[in-house]
Every structure is written in structure tokens, then in C-alpha cells.
């Protein structure tokens, strides 16, 4: 019964995808971009101490049927299930001190980083895993740099410099690894995700972010920020 609840067509409707679902870069790129532009990164369940379940049925029910967002373990967990269902070769990885889930997707001889669940300044489309190659996506430019003890470091261009966002190895992780990392991230008292509510989503021109303190719109380098006074204003 659980498997029957997982529908690729319903997921495609959720993200507004109308393309051909085959194993190609064009499909991967279109799905990744549509997911990030249509499903918000949010930590509300973590903040309110609700259970976070990472199984296929629970992720589908929350994000697709319930039209919610999620954070990395939920967003990339669901995306991994979707890509595998289509037929992509996916390797689930951990980055950033093993506290952030990412995906490596292989198409032919090419390897790509997929990450629909980073949040602030995260990638909107898959990146070719080639060190030093600058790859522009809407308003951001990324590259992979070298990092001691890791295979790659994802870096974002800020002015004339590249700032490391997270480092990772290509060692495949198990479902148990993600359960442990998710539990720690969601329950550790000093975790950022327990300190404030946040909903954020990129746009082609920048990013929209709602927190306990402000509603911020970044568009073509310009920022407009409105203070949030209370819970009533946050919820509207």
C-alpha cells in the first residue's frame, strides 16, 4: 500500500514539471530546478519538535500531498527516491560534518552534485563534479575546490572570492547514517534549526526568506526587508 501512494505524476504536478522523465541531464536539470523554485526549504517541524520521518511514504505525504517544504534530509531524501524511480544512478552522501544530505547523480561518464535542500544560497540546478570549473546559475556562481581530507568543497562566488559552503567525500552513506544525522540535527539544543523558524526559496532573480524576525526579498542584488512583529504576522 505504501508504494502505491508514491506517484511520480503527483510529484511532477507539485513542482510544475511537464517534460520527459528519462535518464538524461536535461531531465535531471529540469527536475532539480523545478523542485528548488517551487518547494520551500523550511524547518517548522524541527522548530515545533514534530517527528521527522525519512521513509518514502512519509516524505511524499508531507511534501507532495501536504504541499509542505522541508530541510535537507527531507528534500534530498524525496529527490533521491524520485530520481531512483525514474532510473537514475544515485549515491546518497553526507556533507558539512555529516549534518547535510546531498546526492551524487551519474549519467554516463559524468557525475553531478544534486542538492535541493541547502537553503540559503544553495544551488538551484545540478553541478558537474569537476574541480575548478565555474558554473553560473541565475544570480550565483559556484565551483568545486580542494579541501584537505575531502574529495570536493562546494564554493560560491562572493565578490572576487570563492567561499566554501560545505565539503564532502564520495563515500556512500546508508539509511541509518541519515537517521542518526537527522536526529542529531533536529534535536541538538544548539542546532540552528531549533533557534528560529525559517522558510526560504530561491527565485530566478534572487531569494525570498521568512524568519521570526523578518521577511526579506532579494532581487537582482537589491534587498527589501520587512520586520516581523509577532506570530500572527509570521503566520500571515
Please indicate whether residue 100 is annotated as part of the active site: yes
With beta carbons less than 8 A apart as the criterion, state whether 141 and 157 touch: yes
Strand ranges inside 57-191, DSSP E? 89-95, 100-107, 110-114, 127-128, 135-137, 140-145, 152-158, 161-168
> Of 32, 35, 45, 72, which residue is the catalytic one?
72
Q: Is 183 noted as a catalytic residue in this protein?
A: no
72 catalytically annotated: yes
Q: What is the dihedral of CA 65, 70, 76, 82, to 10 degrees?
A: 10
- Residue among 13, 100, 109, 212 flagged as catalytic: 100
Rg of the chain over all Cα atoms, to the nearest angstrom: 17
Instruction: Identify the helix (H) or strand (E) that includes residue 82.
Output: helix 72-86
Residue 116 and residue 30: Cα distance in Å, rounded?
12
Quick one: how far is CA 94 from the chain centroid?
13
Q: Strand, coil or helix: what is 16?
A: coil
The set of catalytic residues is 72, 100, 115
Amino acid at each position: 500500500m505504501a508504494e502505491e501512494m508514491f506517484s511520480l505524476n503527483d510529484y511532477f504536478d507539485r513542482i510544475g514539471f511537464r517534460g520527459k522523465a528519462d535518464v538524461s541531464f536535461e531531465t535531471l536539470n529540469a527536475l532539480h530546478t523545478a523542485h528548488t523554485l517551487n518547494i520551500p526549504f523550511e524547518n517548522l517541524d524541527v522548530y515545533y519538535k514534530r517527528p521527522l520521518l525519512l521513509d518514502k511514504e512519509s516524505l511524499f505525504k508531507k511534501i507532495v500531498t501536504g504541499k509542505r517544504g522541508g530541510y535537507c534530509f527531507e528534500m534530498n531524501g524525496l529527490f533521491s527516491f524520485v530520481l531512483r524511480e525514474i532510473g537514475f544512478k544515485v549515491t546518497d552522501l553526507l556533507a558539512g560534518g555529516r549534518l547535510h544530505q546531498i546526492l551524487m547523480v551519474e549519467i554516463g561518464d559524468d557525475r553531478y552534485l544534486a542538492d535541493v535542500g541547502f537553503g540559503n544560497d544553495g544551488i538551484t540546478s545540478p553541478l558537474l563534479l569537476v574541480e575548478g570549473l565555474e558554473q553560473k546559475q541565475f544570480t550565483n556562481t559556484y565551483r568545486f575546490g580542494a579541501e584537505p581530507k575531502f574529495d570536493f568543497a562546494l564554493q560560491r562566488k562572493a565578490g572576487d572570492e570563492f567561499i566554501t559552503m560545505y565539503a564532502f567525500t564520495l563515500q556512500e552513506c546508508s539509511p541509518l547514517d541519515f537517521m542518526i544525522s537527522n536526529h542529531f540535527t533536529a534535536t541538538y539544543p544548539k542546532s540552528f534549526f531549533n533557534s528560529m523558524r525559517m522558510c526560504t526559496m530561491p527565485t530566478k532573480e534572487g531569494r525570498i526568506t521568512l524568519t521570526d524576525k523578518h521577511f526579506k526579498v532579494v532581487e537582482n542584488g537589491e534587498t527589501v526587508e520587512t520586520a516581523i512583529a509577532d506570530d500572527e504576522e509570521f503566520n500571515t
